[in-house]
Structure 1
Amino acid sequence: MSGKTQTSRANAMFVQAAGLFAQSMQRNSTLARLSGPMPKGEAGAAENIRKQTTADLPIVRSVDLTRGAGDEVRFHFVQPVGAYPIMGSKMAEGKGVGIKHDNSRVRVDQARFPVDLGDTMDELRSPVQVRKIGRPIAQSLMDSYQDQALLTHLAGARGFHDNIEWRVPTEKHADFAEIVVNPVLAPTKNRHYIAGGSNGIGGFGVNAGEVTLQSTDELDMDTVDSVRAMIETIPLPPPAVKVPGDVVANDSPLRVMLVSPDQYSSFSRSKDFRAIQANALARASKAKQHPLFLGECGLWNGILLMKMPKPIRFYAGNEIRFCADYASANESIARVPEAFGTTHAIDRAVLLGGQALAHAFGRSKHGGMPYFWKEKTFDHDDKEELLIGAIHGVQKLRWLVEQGGGVKHFTDHGVIAIDTAVRISAQA
């Protein structure tokens, strides 16, 4: 093969990979809408060695296209500062408040989906053009995997709902740790709540090894009101989500709550649900019709409820991992009450603020972009296969955060898990 032909093919691969990366970043899925756009010019991403999306939305994407940079991307965090002013003529010199920072590492790995396009006889017999449908199938597999990996890390659990549509297996699967790339971290103690009780929600509780949830503790308007009150009273809550162009972002702080389809159904039974949907449309008009407000969503008390694509669900007897201590990331085990039987389960909602999760991308040798296509014929050109791949890693952002008085708590920076009971739908 001539040098000119090799160069031409390399350029074609780069353009194809860049286009694939841009297409993936712009897809209109629930999880994709929780991240801002990359700085302009995805097709020229290699010219800008490192790119990062806005920290005002829950998912922060970082692209590192440097050669030999290793398989980790670091994100940095400046600790909160506590101080009182020095008044009048008192000496201020030498009393400066110290600035401390921490960092979080996100490892990246290669994920690939091959699709068998068959052989010569398959092409003759097939009523469809296999090559034409092969690429959309591969793209759909990768997009679903990316979204489900994001959801799993945000929730701090994969759950046990499972069917053919899942690309991330349950935790018992032999390849689970490889597929999620980075450890899936259970919610920190100060970021884990359950529905029910006199206050509408309470801290995650365990009694005799079982979660202290009743089958009647479903998601409703009182639960959401309690979540809003909790946000306003706990120290250092998740930062408000700031949508580009939202003119009331500072006056009316916004958080996003991803809820399961059954939690959404429970909440939608409220007599005021139509008004809640109208609230979302009204807020969209103040935010230049940002796509975050599209689809099935409703706005109540500063919380935008959105339906997540798949439930993070725990059935009767399933294990739920939790952190029992504020000052430790060690995880303990509780079980869903056996009394839930086959009619009820626990679904996890996730309340999101800014900088909840880091999604890092690395450089592939196939065109130099995070995403890539490969096609191959074999067996003397009789059989054909195509493959889509990505170099990526996902990790919830967690820090050991100064609370004041020298006390530090492990804290999931931008996400709170809220477990509620659900009635299992007939098709679940």
Structure 2
Amino acid sequence: MLTTVGVNSPQAVKRWATSLALEADKQTYYQRFIGSGENNIIERRTDLEDDAGDAIKFDLSVNLRGGVTTGDNVVEGTEEPLTFYQDEVKIDQVRKGASGGGRMTRKRTLHDLRRIARDRTATYMAEWVDEGFHVYLSGAPTAANQDSKFSGEFAGNPIQAPDSDHQLYGGTAVSKATLTAADKMNVALIERVTVKPRMMNATNPDVMKMTPVSIEGAKRFILLMSPFQAYDMRVETGDLSWSKIQQALATSEGRNSPIVKGGLGMINDTVLHQHEGVRRFSDYGVGGNVSAARSLLMGRQAGVVAYGSGGRGTRFTWVEKMFDADNQVAIYCGAILGMKKTRFNGKDFGVIAVDTSCRDPNAA
């Protein structure tokens, strides 16, 4: 016997809100990088999922740097004060509505409408969240990417451009203006880039050391690039060398980790990834006419995400409503969340922006 669950019934709301959350997570690219605790590319803060409030403040403790006391020398009075830097992420509500149309145009059952609304909204929310991470981690609110869904700062979290200690360029370029069309992504650049996080604190003690994520005893960074940049790298590398890069990942420790799955290959313990949402630009070079993209080298706590409760024990919200004298049905889906790049004492913490020239290889 078929049971019809009415519009906006509590059973339907909870079921489809939960289903939406699961489906959106499956489709969100960055989900593979998200986890609770410091040993994640994107740290998920759970403080607001059960408690009231719209902001989370979190600390970074600075490593001790002074000398030690030896022998019978007096240690009292030589204490080094513990230093903490603080960052904050705020959350807000984001919603998307879908209309099923009126009685004369609607040929589907309410169950079908719910399923379709879930599928389409899950895809939209996944793309919105992914673009949000691209924007915040890149520190680039404007770009040449088409089909943009993310319109700027969200929840009052600032979009912060990379500081000079966390910005690199392809080739011999040292700035946006000096980047030329020849300064493309290649293996030599990746090798150079992977030195930066390991040595930044050794060369400048005032800059926090970037830490790789630990997976099954191995330590890994992530380099996320545009498919255009990945193409440049593969073409420059050649088939034989590229197969070695792929093999390095396929046989590596931690190869079953979510952050490794789907990777292109590995160079110097850095897993290579590509995504079409990586920020692209069209105004680099001295003449402002060089196409470019910003790849991201990421380690632990490159970013942070926080969620609020959607009610009824779910993370997402689901509201069904009849309108137009009960002629039309609309479904509204959403979530309460916030995201940003981690930044302490005016410096990025777990991400380095790597800008190179690139262009569509299929363009005329």
Q: Which residue of 2 aligns with 1:386?
A: 331
User: How is 1:217-236 mapped onto 2 (pairs within 5 angstroms)?
Assistant: 217-235=183-201, 236=208
Q: Which runs of 5+ in 2 are unaligned?
A: 202-207
Matched pairs, number: 347
The SS at the match of 1:97 is coil
Structure 2 contact 254–260 (Cα < 8 Å) conserved:
no
Structure 1 contact 81–99 (Cα < 8 Å) conserved:
yes
Q: Which residue of 2 aligns with 1:42?
A: none
Q: Which residue of 2 aligns with 1:337?
A: 285
Residue 89 of structure 1: how far off its partner (Å): 1.6
Q: Which residue of 1 aligns with 2:165?
A: 190
Q: Which residue of 2 aligns with 1:287?
A: 254
Structure 2 contact 197–211 (Cα < 8 Å) conserved:
no
Per-residue CA shift, 1:314-335, capped at 9, x if unaligned? 102xxxxxxxxxxxxxxxxxxx
Change (3 A) 1:29 1:14: closer
State which drifts further: 115-124 or 16-25: 16-25
Pairing 1:352–2:336 present: no
Pairing 1:424–2:360 present: yes
Residue 282 of structure 1: how far off its partner (Å): 1.1
**Cα distance in 1 between the residues matched to 2:94 and 2:295:** 27
**Runs of 4+ more than 6 Å apart:** none
User: How is 1:47-126 mapped onto 2 (pairs within 5 angstroms)?
Assistant: 53-63=36-46, 64-67=48-51, 69-124=52-107
Change (3 A) 1:230 1:177: closer
161, 167, 174: which one aligns with 2:149: 167
Pairing 1:256–2:202 present: no
Structure 2 contact 278–294 (Cα < 8 Å) conserved:
yes
Residue 17 of structure 1: how far off its partner (Å): 3.5
The SS at the match of 1:123 is coil
233, 258, 278: which one aligns with 1:267: 233
Residue 308 of structure 1: how far off its partner (Å): 2.1
Structure 1 contact 276–300 (Cα < 8 Å) conserved:
yes
**Cα distance in 1 between the residues matched to 2:323 and 2:265:** 52
Per-residue CA shift, 1:106-134, capped at 9, x if unaligned? 111110010111111112499xx555322
**Cα distance in 2 between the residues matched to 1:87 and 1:24:** 57
Pairing 1:413–2:349 present: yes
The SS at the match of 2:60 is strand
Q: Which residue of 2 aligns with 1:276?
A: 245
Per-residue CA shift, 1:209-263, capped at 9, x if unaligned? x6211110101010011112223322133111123xx13x2xxx32101101101
Change (3 A) 1:76 1:14: farther
Structure 1 contact 255–304 (Cα < 8 Å) conserved:
yes
Q: Which residue of 2 aligns with 1:371?
A: 316
User: How is 1:196-211 mapped onto 2 (pairs within 5 angstroms)?
Assistant: 196-197=171-172, 204-205=174-175, 211=177
Change (3 A) 1:23 1:87: farther
Residue 70 of structure 1: how far off its partner (Å): 2.4
Change (3 A) 1:306 1:125: closer
Q: Which residue of 1 aligns with 2:117?
A: 134
Q: Which residue of 2 aligns with 1:177?
A: 153
Q: What is the root-mean-square deviation of aligned Cα atoms in Å?
A: 2.6
State which drifts further: 268-277 or 153-162: 153-162
Change (3 A) 1:264 1:158: farther
Residue 266 of structure 1: how far off its partner (Å): 0.8
Paired residue type of 2:326: D
Paired residue type of 1:290: S
User: How is 1:34-53 mapped onto 2 (pairs within 5 angstroms)?
Assistant: 34-36=33-35, 53=36
Per-residue CA shift, 1:331-362, capped at 9, x if unaligned? xxxxx225464xx4111011001011110111
Change (3 A) 1:101 1:19: farther
**Cα distance in 2 between the residues matched to 1:261 and 1:348:** 11
Taking structure 2 as the reference length, the TM-score comes to: 0.87
